[in-house]
Amino acid sequence: MNGRISDGMQAEQVVKAFAALSAAQAARLARAASRKLAVLSEGTRNKALETTAKRLEENATRIVSANEEDVRAGEELVRAGKMSAATLERLRVTAKGVHEMAERVRGVARLPDPLGRRVAVTELDEGLVLTRETCPLGVVAVVFESRPDVVPQVASLALKSGNAILLKGGTEAARTNEALISIWQDGVAESGGLPDGAAQMLQSRADVMELLSLERDVDLLIPRGGKEFVESISRQSRIPVLGHGEGICHVYVHEAADLGKAERIVMDAKTDYPAACNSVETLLVDETVAAEFLPRIVRALRAAGVEIRGCERTLAIVSSGAVRAATEADWATEYGDLILTVKVVGGLNDALAHIHEFGSGHTEAIVTEDVEAAETFLNHVDASGVFHNASTRFADGYRYGLGAEVGISNGKLHARGPMGLEGLTTYKYKLRGSGQTVAEYKAGRKFTHRAL
């Protein structure tokens, strides 16, 4: 097929042709598509989302049976010890799951339009008006592992924000992903008015390596996966990368904490979903409440199957059978598992110092009834999420009310924390004049610089 796309081709053929495109060709096509997507009306984008959502539901059987093949192959790998049971679980797609995917696509359609928002309007002078307006980034590439529901989630956010998208999923979900992207492309084509190449799936690992060098045609790269995966992509790419390396989150139980709240929050933050990046890894306990709180929380954690690694002062308070000694490396480790390090600290400043030394800037929480101490914590801690009396697990695009989430960023530039539609937009300055030149202003004419 040579990767040639012609107008007369059926959607299925187009998908096959896309599959034959190199990453560079796909990115070129995406760039061309992005020029057209950027100027589509909100109505056209939303209609396409509604159509694809419907198509997904209509094709639930096809998606589930493609997934069954992936799962069967995955079961072999689990038996051979080449895949974890957790990865296999993340791979599974049910008919209910397809329905949820479709509902989420509809949810994205209902979000406010992120494009064409006038962030600022300034009159520079009479007849010379500057408008700063949101617009799409252009071409966004997402490289992800296992979970196939990433395909409609990310594709819908990209379409809503007028971006072309390049996706590369894990080989373990290849059949499911292929079915999803093919149905997605059918829906987009059926909706009408959208360019070819708005959403494409890259096929091979070699494509990913090629992708990293395509800075001319790809504006943003979002790796979704483990720490080493994200770091390796960041190191090798010349394209800006947003992602999160790690989540070493802390809960600090202050001297004025309500210990009931503290227990609920710590249990939730550790056990609700230990593999999540917003789960707590280290519990900091104020020395004034350590004797009361530690035995209680250790009992609850142990009952939930949590292994505890404590500092010397923790070991001195809690019977040593329940807690083993933490090493220096423990404080800097994201377990992503039912393991928690515990440290007794001398007060708020101690807690801040520990968090700034070992935290990853993801999410940090204080439990206290002292509002002043809470505000000091929220102001001083340098992290994307700073929480008072709430579980670190709330750090999530859906819970934050951003709609779906395209990823979480640990960096401070562009998007910090859960990244929704806004993270997929940039802005441009539109200047509307009537023949003005800079030389006039150098010669003495004054700017008015009036906000409109």
Tell me which residues touch a copy of itself (CB under 8 A).
Answer: 35, 38-39, 122, 124, 128, 130, 135, 137-138, 219-220, 234-235, 238, 240, 242, 258, 260-261, 264-265, 267-268, 272, 356, 374, 378-380, 382-391, 393-395, 399-401, 411-414, 416-417, 426-439, 441-442, 447, 449
CA neighbor of 100 nearest in space, from 63, 48, 57, 65:
57
Other CB atoms closer than 10 Å to residue 403's CB: what's the count? Answer: 21
- Pair type for strands 417-419 and 407-409: antiparallel
Nearest approach in angstroms of CB 86 to a copy of itself is: 18
Q: Which is nearer to a copy of itself, 162 or 169 (CB)?
A: 162
Given a contact cutoff of 8 angstroms between Cβ atoms, the answer to whether 181 and 62 are in contact is no
CA neighbor of 340 nearest in space, from 377, 314, 362, 366:
314
Nearest approach in angstroms of CB 297 to a copy of itself is: 14
Nearest approach in angstroms of CB 378 to a copy of itself is: 5
Given a contact cutoff of 8 angstroms between Cβ atoms, the answer to whether 364 and 385 are in contact is yes
CA angle 242, 243, 246 (to 5 degrees): 145
Q: Which is nearer to a copy of itself, 17 or 38 (CB)?
A: 38
Q: Which is nearer to a copy of itself, 97 or 171 (CB)?
A: 97
CA 35 to the chain's CA centroid: 25
Interatomic CA distance for residues 293 and 267, integer angstroms: 13
Q: Which is nearer to a copy of itself, 178 or 217 (CB)?
A: 217
Interatomic CA distance for residues 219 and 114, integer angstroms: 18
Nearest approach in angstroms of CB 55 to a copy of itself is: 28
Q: Which is nearer to a copy of itself, 206 or 371 (CB)?
A: 371
Q: Which is nearer to a copy of itself, 192 or 433 (CB)?
A: 433
Q: What is the DSSP letter of 125?
A: E
Nearest approach in angstroms of CB 67 to a copy of itself is: 24
Query: How big is the chain, counted in residues?
Result: 452
Given a contact cutoff of 8 angstroms between Cβ atoms, the answer to whether 290 and 262 are in contact is no
Interatomic CA distance for residues 23 and 26, integer angstroms: 5
Q: Which is nearer to a copy of itself, 63 or 415 (CB)?
A: 415
C-alpha dihedral over 407, 410, 413, 418, to 10 degrees? 40
Interatomic CA distance for residues 343 and 354, integer angstroms: 10
Sign of the alpha-carbon torsion through 56, 58, 64, 66: negative
Q: What is the DSSP letter of 333?
A: -
Nearest approach in angstroms of CB 76 to a copy of itself is: 32
Nearest approach in angstroms of CB 133 to a copy of itself is: 9
- Residues ≥6 apart with Cβ < 8 Å to 216: none
Q: What is the DSSP letter of 122?
A: E
Residues β-bridged to residue 333: none
Nearest approach in angstroms of CB 43 to a copy of itself is: 16
Nearest approach in angstroms of CB 427 to a copy of itself is: 6
Q: Which is nearer to a copy of itself, 204 or 448 (CB)?
A: 448
Q: Which is nearer to a copy of itself, 62 or 416 (CB)?
A: 416
Q: Which is nearer to a copy of itself, 170 or 245 (CB)?
A: 245
In angstroms, the Cα distances linking 132 to 95, 119, 428, 450, 451 are 44, 5, 6, 14, 12
Nearest approach in angstroms of CB 429 to a copy of itself is: 5
